[in-house]
Amino acid sequence: MKQLILLFIGLSITILLQAQVLKNVHVTAGGLYEALTATELSSITNLTLTGTINAWDIETIQGIPLLTELDLSQTTITATTIPGIANFPANWFPGPSIWKNSLNYGGLRKPLLTSLKLPSTLEVIGSDGFSGCSGLTSITIPPTVTTIGWSAFEGCSGLTSIAIPPSVTDINKYAFSYCSGLTEVSIPTSMTSISTGMFQGCSGLTSLTIPSSVTRIGNSAFTLCIGLTSLVIPPSVESIGNIAFFGCKNLTSIYSYRPVPINTANSFDDVIKSKCKLYVPFGSEALNAATEEWKGFTNIVGMPELKLSQTTANVEAKQGSTATVEITSNVPWTASSDQTWLTVYPTSGTGNQAFAFIADANPTSAARIATVTLNATGVDSQTIVVTQQTIPTGLNETEQNIAQFKCYPNPFMREMTIEIQNPRQAKMTVDIYNVAGQLIKNLLIGSINEQVNLMWNGTNDKGQQVQPGVYICKVNNQSRQLIYTQP
């Protein structure tokens, strides 16, 4: 029994030793093969290199069958010359054979590789560089890399995320195709296009950020990305290529922010067009529905929108001074002021309408500011800065305006009394305006009576009932807000 236990321990130690063989080598470009024995070439699992390497060393690494961890972070890749092979001329292989700081020469293609550290000065990840490295779960691309070649990471199914540094300006076709484990990717703002098939077959991709720098999405760019449920297309995108999103059968919403229709070419299949809701800028629904590509979508709706005609306003110092801003909206909104001296009306609404501010008299010798905030679901909040002027030094409300008046009840439903005191018997004109500054009704012209009582029943000069809302009563240069509610 004791012998069996010792035998088991011995076998376990042997397996462990065989399972992990570490090797550190300082290399002069092209010398890796000579630096390793035949036994090492067949057994190394963890390889760390320092010094300089070239295409011949990459070829040697390709020939190490059990390699699982490779650290090239302390190496520099140099160019070399490769003679012609069969019908291919000398230097036909791209990568370090021609360009310094490029990693290519046929690609590593090592499915057992789980950990990889790239040279810190690397500039180019060449075509096919890591295709088929299905064991890689993560990789850090150095901030010196500018180019990722054709099919560089194709079939790296173990990758779950990848950070592309802003130094990268060129990513070639099929660079990340069939990285089925990839769940999220953020494309840097240095990119202006998404190339053909770049993420084709990335079935696990659920989170995608397309930056506003991108103007073109290439053919087959996201074909068979069945994990995508929502797609946001920034306004910078001018064109989408052929079958770019074919097979993305779980897409339920697409947000196209371009104010004019995108130039598309058979980019979405019929399944997507029939089940997916397409959101376009508010007001462009009909324009998009008339285009060759988007017209196939059965559900095109305007995005939530809240726009203001202006973001600043001024009101005078006197009591009841008003200003208006036009609102364009297709969603319910609410409004509030951060100052009690400024009343907003209405405080909520939906659709396009005028929005009013009514100020109390400014009793101070300095201008004052209020911020009005409008909130709506699905859109960013909007703010309006309202500045109230001050009464010039030495003047006050009474001195500026001879007649004094009050309005009651306020708000009113059927009838309001306007009571005016005019002790100096100045000529008085009394008018009712809406918040857009339009004259609704004249109640009095040229009276010099010391006291006047008027009634307004919510009608205009034609005797028609006006809509409930805020109105302004003006007596000469003075004004008061009137709130007329539904009877």
pLDDT tens digits for 94-147?
Answer: 443 333 334 544 456 778 889 888 888 888 887 777 888 889 888 888 998 888
Residue 11 has pLDDT above 80, yes or no: no
Q: Are β-strands 342-345 and 382-388 bridged in parallel, bridged antiparallel, or unpaired? A: unpaired
pLDDT in tens, 381-397: 999 999 998 865 444 44
Please, which pLDDT band fits residue 167 given cuts at 50, 70 and 90? very high
Which residues, at least 6 apart from 337, have a Cβ–Cβ distance to it below 8 Å? 343, 344, 357, 370, 371, 372, 386
Please, which pLDDT band fits residue 411 given cuts at 50, 70 and 90? confident
pLDDT in tens, 451-479: 999 999 999 999 999 988 888 888 887 87
Find how far residue 163's CA is from the centre of its chain.
Answer: 18
pLDDT in tens, 36-83: 999 999 999 999 999 998 878 887 888 899 999 999 999 988 777 655
Which tokens hold the place of 268? 């979405």
Which residues, at least 6 apart from 468, have a Cβ–Cβ distance to it below 8 Å? 484, 485, 486
φ, ψ of residue 98 in degrees (nearest 5): -120, -45
> Which pTM does this prediction carry?
0.67
SS3 of residue 16 by DSSP: helix
CB 446 within 8 A of CB 424: no
Q: Domains for the chain: give ranges and CATH numbers.
A: 12-82+93-182 (3.80.10.10), 187-303 (3.80.10.10), 306-388 (2.60.40.10), 402-484 (2.60.40.1930)
φ, ψ of residue 33 in degrees (nearest 5): -60, -45
CB 288 within 8 A of CB 300: yes
Sign for the pseudo-dihedral over CA of 392, 397, 398, 400: positive
φ, ψ of residue 332 in degrees (nearest 5): -65, 145
pLDDT in tens, 417-453: 999 988 888 888 899 988 777 889 999 988 888 899 9
